[in-house]
Every structure is written in structure tokens, then in C-alpha cells.
């Protein structure tokens, strides 16, 4: 039987331990990320946290909330690129059966799960379980999430690009190297972290109108808290490029589970001639290779620069069950 828990802090230690063995272990399902998300975006939602114990050990956690008639995992597609239940793989089927039974017995009319990655056992199992219990189920591709399996050297990475993209990247790198006063900084921990984040959000707003509209005051505050949390945990990597005394490009990354995740970026388009955005991302890739990381994740979205840098799509799904 599922049991309720009232706050993320109540199960933080058990949650982190369980996540290490979970089928989907991502920074977005980490309790620290979830706690900050709930702190910033819980207005109008009711908490529905559930967990399952076997032999006094927690083997499954469902950090859910309800918005009117809809039951869902905490997190939204604007701030969370991957989402899932936190569960030991060997207990996934039983746990998902319990979750569906809970939903059937609840007052809610729909169960909506967004940002479920293609390798998730939830994607594989939950639709079958829900249909077997006479629920209506729809599964849709929500987005793509390109990424690169990283080799052990920069030269091998370049060699893996197709001929056109390799030629273009090398040409753009040579052009930038002709600029005497360009510089790349990598910020991981700093007493001036908020100052650097202000540079990042300023460049985000300069990038395009959609990013300015996206970056509301609430999201900017969330970004600030996420940067502090991830910096303290050793996950935070902010890449900044300057030319002369002016910052021209930024790439906000998180290093988690031996992978680098490119969360967001911003550019000053006055410097597009030097391809500052694409090249700063390439420096982030090179740095990830040099630090022995296994994967570079561009996260959701099919922007063309991701494919020019070698990205290969993985799929992200939404699952909806209704009574």
C-alpha cells in the first residue's frame, strides 16, 4: 500500500539514495531541484506525495501534485526537461500498478505525466497497466532531446562530425581565434555568483523575444535559487565568452551523473559574425570530454545548432490516463 508524505524534506535522504538506483536518474528528479520547483511554482496546486516500502525500505516515490482535476508529477515542461517517478527498477511494475490504483480511487479525473524519457520504464509499462484497468490512455511524443555520446578526445569528437559540420566548426574556430581579446570563463563556484547569473539572464533576454517572454520575474528568481543550489552541490557550470570588455555569449550547464546538460543559453547578436553561441557550446563540449564525461545532453528542443554539433535525437513523451 502506498503511504503519504507531506514534504520533500521528509524523505530527502531516502529519495537521494533511491535515485542512485533508479531507471531515470536526472538532476530534474533530484529532491533539491524538486524542492525549489515546489517553492516557486506550487501556487494553485495541492501536494500529493506518495511512497512505497518493502521490508522497511522505500523502493518507490511518487512526488505528485494536483491542479484542479488533474494529477501529475511535480515539475513542468518549461523548467524540467525530464521527469519520472523515483523507483527501483525491479519494483517498477508493482509500484506503477499501485500508482494507477491510487489514481482510480482518487477524486481526480486525469493523470498527466510529462517529459518522460524514451528509456523510462514508466513509458514502457504504465500505459499497458492503465489500459488493463480500463482507463483511456494517450501517449504522445512531446519533444526531442538531442545529445552526444562523448568520445575520449576532442579530435575524435571532431572526426565523428559529418564532413560539412566539421569543416564549418573548424572554420568558425579559426575566425574567432583571430580576435585578440576574446576570453572564455568557466564559473562553478563564486562569491559573485548572482552577478554572473545576471550576466547570463541579460544575454538570454538579448537572444530572442521568446526568451525574454519566457524569463518572467518568477523564473528569474527560480534560476537564481537553482544556480545557488547546484553550485553548492558541484553541479553548476556557467560558460561565459567575452570580447574586449563585453560579455557576448553564455551557456548554463549542469554536470550530473557524469553527463553535462546544457540547460539554457544567451547571446548578443551583434557578435553573430563570430558564431559566439555555437562556439561557446563547442567549448562546453570540449571541456566535458577533457573531464571524462560520457554524454553531452542538449536537452529538449530541435534547434539546428544542436545537430551541427553532432546531436542525435532521443524522444520525450507525455502520457495521459483518464477515467
Q: To the nearest whole number, what is the mean pLDDT of the chain?
A: 96
Same domain, 124 and 154: no
Q: Is residue 306 in a domain?
A: no
Cα–Cα distance for residue pair 278/64, rounded to 1 Å? 37
Same domain, 18 and 135: yes
Provide the percentage of residues in the chain whose pLDDT is more than 70.
100
Q: Could you tell me if 154 and 289 are in contact, meaning their C-beta atoms sit under 8 angstroms apart? A: yes
Q: Is residue 246 in a domain?
A: yes
Place 172 in a pLDDT band, splitting at 50, 70 and 90: very high
Same domain, 109 and 251: no
Same domain, 49 and 69: yes
pLDDT > 90? residue 198: yes
Tally the domains of the chain. Answer: 2
pLDDT > 90? residue 212: no
Place 211 in a pLDDT band, splitting at 50, 70 and 90: confident
Same domain, 293 and 151: yes
pLDDT at 208 (0 to 100): 79
Same domain, 28 and 111: yes
Same domain, 118 and 21: yes
Q: Which residues contact 53 (CB under 8 A, 6 or more apart)?
A: 3, 59
Same domain, 281 and 170: yes
DSSP assignment of 159-196 equals HHS-HHHHHHHHHHHHHHHT-TTEEEEEESS-TTHHHH
Same domain, 104 and 163: no
Same domain, 203 and 268: yes
CATH of the domain at 158: 3.40.630.30
- Which residue range forms the structural domain that includes residue 239? 147-297
Same domain, 81 and 179: no
Same domain, 84 and 177: no
Provide the percentage of residues in the chain whose pLDDT is more than 90.
95
Question: Residue 94 class from Cβ within 10 Å (0-12 exposed, 13-18 middle, 19+ buried)?
Answer: middle
pLDDT digits (tens, 9 = 90+) for 244-283: 999 999 999 999 999 999 999 999 999 999 999 999 999 9
Minimal CA–CA distance to 103: which of 141, 73, 140? 73
Q: Is residue 165 in a domain?
A: yes
Q: Is residue 251 in a domain?
A: yes
Cα 315 to chain centroid, rounded: 13
| pTM exceeding 0.75 | yes
pLDDT digits (tens, 9 = 90+) for 5-53: 999 999 999 999 999 999 999 999 999 999 999 999 999 999 999 999 9
Minimal CA–CA distance to 238: which of 249, 289, 181, 70? 249
Q: Is residue 210 in a domain?
A: yes
| Residue whose entry in the numeric block shows the C-alpha cell 553564455 | 250
Amino acid at each position: 500500500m502506498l503511504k503519504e508524505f507531506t514534504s520533500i524534506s521528509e524523505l530527502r535522504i531516502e529519495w537521494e539514495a533511491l535515485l542512485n538506483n533508479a531507471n531515470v536518474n536526472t538532476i530534474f528528479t533530484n529532491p533539491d531541484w524538486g524542492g525549489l520547483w515546489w517553492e516557486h511554482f506550487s501556487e494553485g496546486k495541492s501536494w500529493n506525495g506518495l511512497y512505497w516500502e518493502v521490508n522497511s525500505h522505500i523502493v518507490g516515490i511518487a512526488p505528485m501534485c494536483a491542479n484542479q482535476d488533474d494529477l501529475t508529477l511535480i515539475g513542468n515542461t518549461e523548467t524540467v526537461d525530464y521527469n519520472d517517478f523515483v523507483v527501483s527498477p525491479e519494483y517498477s511494475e508493482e509500484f506503477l500498478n499501485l500508482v494507477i490504483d491510487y489514481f482510480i480511487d482518487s477524486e481526480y479525473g486525469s493523470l498527466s505525466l510529462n517529459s518522460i524519457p524514451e528509456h523510462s520504464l514508466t513509458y514502457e509499462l504504465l500505459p499497458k497497466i492503465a489500459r488493463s484497468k480500463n482507463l483511456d490512455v494517450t501517449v504522445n511524443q512531446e519533444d526531442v532531446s538531442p545529445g552526444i555520446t562523448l568520445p575520449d578526445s576532442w579530435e575524435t569528437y571532431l572526426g565523428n562530425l559529418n564532413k560539412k559540420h566539421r569543416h564549418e566548426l573548424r572554420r568558425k574556430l579559426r575566425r574567432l581565434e583571430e580576435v585578440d581579446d576574446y576570453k572564455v570563463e568557466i564559473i562553478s563556484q563564486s562569491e559573485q555568483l548572482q552577478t554572473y547569473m545576471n550576466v547570463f539572464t541579460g544575454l538570454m533576454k538579448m537572444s530572442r523575444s521568446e526568451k525574454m517572454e519566457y524569463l518572467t520575474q518568477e523564473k528569474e528568481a527560480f534560476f537564481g535559487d537553482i544556480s545557488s543550489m547546484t553550485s553548492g552541490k558541484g553541479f553548476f557550470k556557467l560558460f561565459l565568452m567575452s570580447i574586449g570588455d563585453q560579455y557576448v555569449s553564455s551557456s548554463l550547464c549542469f554536470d550530473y551523473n557524469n553527463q553535462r546538460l546544457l540547460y539554457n543559453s544567451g547571446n548578443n547578436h551583434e557578435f553573430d559574425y563570430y558564431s559566439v553561441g555555437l562556439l561557446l557550446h563547442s567549448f562546453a563540449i570540449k571541456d566535458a570530454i577533457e573531464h571524462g564525461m560520457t554524454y553531452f545532453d542538449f536537452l529538449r528542443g530541435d534547434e539546428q545548432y544542436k545537430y551541427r554539433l553532432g546531436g542525435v535525437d532521443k524522444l520525450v513523451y507525455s502520457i495521459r490516463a483518464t477515467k
